[in-house]
């Protein structure tokens, strides 16, 4: 099973479980950790069996809760350096801009950034390519085989994508998102980074290219899966899980709202 938990602000947290093996993709803001754990428990998930966290990129809303878990977090070496230097523009043509460093410092502070300390760093040497994206390796979850694809560095240096071709799962992080699925509140929050940094992407030209690459992969694989009655599910870093309909991302399945008991968090509810 694949479960997507969209948080009020910031990135989504995914749980992938197959044949008794469980992994997490991205960990959300650190400040949400206790609420995330309560939410996962409410949906019957026992994270004592969690094996690994696979991190798409180093932004606080995707990596900020990794330090709360004892399991290894798998990341690109570029993400490790972004965390080390506290600058999301590291490794890009915008590295010298003060905006990236200031934004990273602020968001890390306000969001309770607790990055992974138990880290497995991938080799950045590609073993091939797929639709113009470097392939850095593979991993399995309960027999499901995932390819690890490297971005072109448009949204952020070291950004990764995870693709399971057999089951039709593509985790795209912040490089391909169904913005049409956003609630009004989430849409407002998404504008803050743009206001503070002018753009959420460190290289807009490369960001455009990597979106085209991802859409190309999605279109080809969805057509292939369709012959067997399956669909490709696009799991973006924000918003709902989606399918590709006439070239547009469309929400897949039912989206449920989780409402925690406010008495559990009196300090925040006061």
Task: Decide: 137 and 77 in contact? Cβ < 8 Å.
Answer: no
Instruction: Judge whether residue 266 has pLDDT over 60.
Output: no
Of 97 and 267, the structure prediction assigns the larger pLDDT to 97
| Element (DSSP H or E) covering residue 34 | helix 33-42
Q: How far is CA 230 from CA 167, 211, 217, in A?
A: 8, 23, 15
Predicted model pTM: 0.94
CA dihedral 75→179→109→23, nearest 10 degrees, is -30
Is residue 190 very low, low, confident or very high in pLDDT (cuts 50, 70, 90)?
A: confident
Q: Residue 268: what pLDDT? A: 47
What are the backbone dihedrals phi and psi of residue 89, each rounded to the nearest 5 degrees, phi first?
-85, 0
- Which of 56-65, 193-202, 215-224, 238-247 has the lowest average pLDDT? 193-202
Q: How far is CA 120 from CA 26, 67, 88, in A?
A: 14, 13, 20
| Element (DSSP H or E) covering residue 103 | helix 98-110
- What order of strands is seen across the sheet that includes strand 119-121? 2-5, 13-18, 21-25, 50-54, 73-75, 119-121
From the centroid of its chain, how far is CA 128?
23
Q: Residue 135: what pLDDT? A: 98
Q: Which residue has the tokens 């460093």?
A: 101
The pLDDT tens digits for 228-256 are 899 999 999 999 999 999 999 999 988 88
Instruction: Judge whether residue 170 has pLDDT over 60.
Output: yes
Instruction: Judge whether residue 50 has pLDDT over 80.
Output: yes
195-217: average pLDDT: 93
From the centroid of its chain, how far is CA 145?
18
CA dihedral 56→60→63→66, nearest 10 degrees, is -170
Instruction: Judge whether residue 93 has pLDDT over 60.
Output: yes
Q: With b meaning 16 or more CB within 10 Å and e meaning fewer, what string describes 141-151?
A: beebebbbbbb
């Amino acid at each position: 099973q694949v479960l997507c938990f969209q948080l009020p602000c910031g990135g989504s947290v995914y749980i992938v479980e197959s044949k008794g093996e469980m992994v997490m993709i991205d960990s959300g803001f650190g400040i949400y950790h206790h609420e995330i754990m309560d939410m996962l428990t409410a949906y019957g998930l026992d994270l004592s069996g969690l094996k690994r966290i696979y991190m798409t990129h180093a932004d606080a809303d995707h990596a900020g809760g990794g330090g709360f878990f004892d399991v290894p977090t798998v990341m690109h070496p570029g993400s490790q350096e972004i965390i080390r230097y506290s600058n999301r523009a590291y490794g890009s043509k915008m590295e010298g801009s003060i905006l990236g460093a200031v934004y990273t410092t602020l968001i890390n502070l306000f969001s309770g950034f607790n990055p992974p300390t138990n880290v497995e760093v991938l080799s950045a040497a590609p073993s091939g390519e797929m639709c113009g994206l470097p392939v850095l390796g593979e991993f399995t979850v309960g027999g499901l085989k995932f390819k690890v694809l490297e971005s072109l560095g448009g949204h952020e240096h070291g950004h990764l994508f995870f693709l399971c071709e057999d089951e039709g799962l593509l985790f795209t992080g912040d490089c391909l998102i169904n913005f049409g699925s956003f609630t009004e509140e989430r849409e407002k929050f998404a504008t803050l980074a743009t206001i503070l940094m002018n753009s959420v992407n460190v290289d807009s030209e490369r960001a455009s290219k990597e979106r085209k690459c991802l859409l190309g992969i999605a279109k080809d694989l969805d057509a292939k899966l369709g012959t067997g009655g399956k669909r490709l599910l696009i799991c973006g870093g924000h918003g709902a899980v989606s399918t590709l309909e006439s070239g547009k991302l469309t929400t897949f399945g039912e989206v449920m709202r989780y409402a925690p008991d406010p008495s559990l968090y009196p300090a925040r509810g006061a």
